[in-house]
Amino acid sequence: MRLLSYVKRYLGIFFLSILGLIIFSSMEIAFIDLFGYTVNAIGGMTADPSDLTEAGKHESGITIHIVNALSADGGNVLDTRWMVPLIMLIIALVRGLSFFVGGYCMTYVSQILVHNLRIAVFNKYTSLPASYFDSSMSGHLVARTTFIVSQVTQAATNSLKVMIREGALVIGLISYLFYLNWKLALIFLTILPIIGLVVLSVSKRFRKLALRIQSSMGDVAQVTQEFVGGYRDMHLYGAKYFERQRMKDASKNSRKQQMKLSITESISTPVIQLLVASALSFLMWLVLDPAVLSEMSGGDFVKFLASAALLAKPVRALSGVNSKIQQGIAAAGTLFSTLDNNEEIDEGVIEKDKVDGCFEFSKVNFAYAADDKNVLNGVTFNVKAGETVALVGRSGSGKSTLISMIPRFYEINDGTISLDGKDLKSYKLENLRSHIALVSQKISLFNDTIHNNIAYGTLANRTKDEVEAAARAANALEFIEQLPNGFETIIGDQGIKLSGGQRQRLAIARAILKDAPVLILDEATSALDSQTERYIQEALETVMRGRTTFVIAHRLSTIENADRILMMSKGKIVEQGTHEELLQLNKHYAKLHNKIVVEEKSDFNE
């Protein structure tokens, strides 16, 4: 029922498709009835003409009622024989039209359903917290909008059409059998509970295997994605055979689960067919009894036998399509579990056109999980508007985690962080982040033009001159103009066609173009050579003026020019002050500073 909520605007078309499929199935029964009437009519040809009308009155079926209603003389066979081919043509016409309406409308609604589901899942991704992505494998997340959605597609198109069409035919045939001879038709009711138990049992098995298949396909996508992203390392470190084995294992597991599904399907369908065949065999034995035959006309006997025999086909189709339906249900469940995840907490009401950039951190504690040790422990400090603060410390000291609290990528466990005297949580998330620009050591670029990579998101409405000015300030204009298509050059997935320094400069240009009052530089010059870094450093110093800037860096030039330096260790601020003040203390920062000096001299000599 939840799936229907995604197509509620198209419920009319959906019900029209169901009606079309039901009419299509009913035409099968109408044809059997017409065939039985024809048999009676042929048999009646040998009777006395004066008895033909009387013989027709004792016949059961739908066709005889139509003939009687349309004929003036009560259904004389010789006078109404033109109606048989006419009714046959009408059945064929209605059957074809209903098949088109049912099939087209069902596909139309199903594709809308799949489209809406895929968009809903992707939109959900854009609202989920960072912790969700940190705890999920990217390949599995991608698989949910591709493979898993395709499972719903298969179930919602061909499988659903088969289920409705053949299901309606089964119901129609059984009803028609009761209409012809309810005593004999009762035989089918004895096997329905057994068939129901078999279907229920295998359906549970199908859903269980479908979930395993989803996971295995996610593993395949994950291995492929990791290989594509690290193919250079694969070659350099001789991991070709290792990666091949990883893919082989992932694909082998997927094949194993598919074969288990196939075995279940291959067993269940013959079992159901055997049950139906048993009922049909017993039914035919009864029908051929002289006592039963004496109560039925030749046409009625043909109708009953044909209807009973025809039951095998839709039952086989329904049992065969059950696996696809169950896979679709399991896939929908996976998608709904994604949609039911809690989004980022956004209960703020404050929206400002501009902020000053004054921050206050008070006793901030944070752990990535409830049972994990704190990554931040009682962090307390203030930042004035326009001040540049450098965060230094060994790897794992909590620098990047602390920076992630500012745009609220993570929510602190205890304490408060305020911006311009207001708790960060009181700001609307979108508004808060609109005042922050970020240049991270992990560069996010897209398979698009250089212009669109700089003018990304809300920056898309910036003019060409503004984009060029940002590129110039980031020292990127020179290499951009040397490219064949300039700003319209497609840079490939993650900017693979550019060097590391060029990619970094595009990220810096994007931050410059945003012109936000709060700037976060997380190893922003880490991928640049010494000469390029000097150019970039000058550009960054210009951009940083008048802005509150948080800097994580290992370069002395970046650290020494900061208004204040925060020395972090094990999630705590152990020292803070200017470069000169901390050197005079001759403690943690002084030791780190001396180490960096030695490393930079070594790099210079090399």
Cβ atoms 299, 43 nearer than 8 A: yes
Q: What one-character DSSP code corresponds to residue 489?
A: -
26-40, 397-411, 496-510: which is most confident: 397-411
End-to-end CA distance of the chain: 68
pLDDT given for residue 292 in this prediction: 67
List, in order, residues 6 or more apart from 526 with CB less than 8 Å away. Answer: 441, 504, 553, 554
User: CA–CA separation, 464 vs 164, rounded Å?
Assistant: 56
Ranges of H-type helices in 474-574: 477-481, 500-514, 530-544, 556-560
55 pLDDT more than 50 = no
Give the lowest-confidence range in 272-281, 385-394, 463-472. Answer: 272-281
Domain-wise residue ranges, the chain:
3-339, 349-435+565-606
Cβ neighbour number for residue 291 with a 10 Å cutoff:
7
Strands 436-439 vs 518-522: parallel, antiparallel or unpaired: parallel
pLDDT digits (tens, 9 = 90+) for 580-605: 888 888 888 888 878 877 665 555 44
Q: How far apart are CA 207 and CA 331, in angstroms?
A: 9
What is the pTM assigned to this prediction?
0.76
Model pLDDT, residue 243: 77
Name the percent of the chain lying above pLDDT 70.
85
Judged against a pLDDT cut of 70, whether residue 59 lies above it is answered with no
Instruction: Supply the pLDDT for residue 424.
Output: 93
pLDDT of residue 53: 46
Mapping DSSP to helix (H, G, I), strand (E, B) and coil, where does residue 552 land? strand
Tokens standing for 313? Answer: 């086909």
Sign of CA dihedral 191, 195, 198, 201: negative
Please give the C-alpha separations between residue 573 and each of 338, 364, 399, 551, 569, in angstroms, as whole numbers: 38, 11, 10, 15, 7
pLDDT at 445: 84
Is pLDDT of 259 > 70? yes
Kindly state which CATH superfamily the domain 3-339 is placed in.
ABC transporter type 1, transmembrane domain (1.20.1560.10)
Superfamily of structural domain 349-435+565-606: P-loop containing nucleotide triphosphate hydrolases (3.40.50.300)
Q: What is the DSSP letter of 373?
A: P
The predicted structure's pLDDT at residue 54:
45
Return the pLDDT at 325: 83
Torsion sign across C-alpha atoms 433, 435, 438, 443? positive
The residue that leads in pLDDT, 286 or 341, is: 341
d(CA 285, CA 599): 95
